[in-house]
Amino acid sequence: MFSSFMTNAWIVGTVVSLLAGATGFFVVMRGSSFAAHAIPNGAFAGAAGAALVGVTPLAGLITFAVVSSVGIGASRRHRGDVATALALVMMLALGAAFLSLSGAYEPQVEALLFGQILGVATTSIVPVVVIASLCALALAVMYRPLLFNAAAPDLAAVKGLNPQLLEMGFMLTLALGAALTVPVVGALLTFSLTVGPPAAARLVTRRPGSALVASMALSAITLWVSIAASYQSNLPVGFFVGTSSALVYVLARILTRWRGRRA
């Protein structure tokens, strides 16, 4: 399990899950789950397009994730959920079209959608770490404004906080994070990691700082367990990521109910 060809998976997996836990904390707090679900699908179209044109996947992933996040961020005022839903299906359909034009075979499609830990190349470690650090830095800068805006949007606006700018910044960070996560756990399951563990963390603790840390920890544990289980069972990593993220949330629900009954 810890042999040399798995090292890349462990390193990139850890970086990606910590980042997903951190962004997911804000996703759950701001109630932007739908956007967090849509953006990785944009990244999917990007990876498929990159395969068709023949450029490096990361370029396609980042371009499309950023474009879809800007689109969603800009159109959130009027019936935002419809715009998000349509952007999402359009991106998925585009990805499907790219894949059938390039004549991709089944395992490639599945790897993009449901993840492929063994596909992590050594050359991708440096870009992943660099981009993830940038995202972490951006989140650290936006930490207070995001909390303020989520807790008291009106007051935040009065204090001179530009909510649209903040939304855009957050969406861009989400997009960069998704572009890194999609190749590892897949376009359809990046979202599981971004919402399950953070939602569980929020149930367990009320204080924002400790919820953020708990969210990152739970997310990392979820991915580690998934990689290990996938390695042992030879089943796709996405299956374990999806089900264990949901399981973490259900356990947290049970825990809070049990604590509530005792108190």
Partner 1 sequence: MHWLFEPGIWSNPAVRTGVGVGMVVAVVSALVGLFTVMRSQSFAGHALADVATAGGAGAGVFGFSPLAGFVVGSLAGASAMEAIGVERVRQRDVATGVVLGGATGLSALFLYLITLNTSNAGSTQSILFGSLFSVSNSSFLVITVVSVAVCLALAALGRPLLFASVSPDAARARGVAVRRVALGYTLLMAVTVGLSAVVIGSVLSTALLIGPPAAALRLGRRLGATLALAAALGVGAVGFGVVASYDSFYWWPSHRALPVSFCVVTLVVVEVVTANVVARVWARRGANARA
CB of 80 to partner 1, least distance (A): 9
Contact 114, 186 (CB under 8 A): yes
Angle at 49 between CA 48 and CA 52, to 5 degrees: 90
CB of 130 to partner 1, least distance (A): 28
Residues binding partner 1 (CB under 8 A): 28, 31, 33-34, 36-37, 79, 81-82, 84-86, 88-90, 92-94, 96-97, 99-101, 103, 106-107, 109-110, 113-115, 186, 188-189, 191-192, 195-196, 199, 235-236, 238-247, 249-250, 253
166 CB-side CA count, 13 A: 20
Distance CA 102, CA 126 (A): 29
Closer to partner 1 at the Cβ: 50 or 131?
A: 50
Region label for 152, one of left (φ > 0), alpha (ψ between -120 and 50) or beta (otherwise): beta
CB of 202 to partner 1, least distance (A): 8
CB of 123 to partner 1, least distance (A): 26
Closer to partner 1 at the Cβ: 131 or 181?
A: 181
CB of 15 to partner 1, least distance (A): 21
Closer to partner 1 at the Cβ: 78 or 262?
A: 78
Residue with tokens 């804000």: 26
Distance CA 84, CA 207 (A): 30
Closer to partner 1 at the Cβ: 12 or 92?
A: 92
- Give, for 48, the enclosing helix (H) or strand (E): helix 33-53
Distance CA 174, CA 262 (A): 38
Closer to partner 1 at the Cβ: 4 or 206?
A: 206
Distance CA 168, CA 177 (A): 14
CB of 93 to partner 1, least distance (A): 4
Closer to partner 1 at the Cβ: 35 or 131?
A: 35
Listed as own residue / partner, the contacts of 32-36 with beta carbons closer than 8 Å and 24 or more positions apart are 32/170, 33/191, 33/195, 34/81, 34/84, 34/85, 35/69, 35/72, 35/73, 35/76, 35/84, 35/171, 35/174, 36/174, 36/178, 36/191, 36/194, 36/195
Closer to partner 1 at the Cβ: 15 or 237?
A: 237
CB of 197 to partner 1, least distance (A): 10
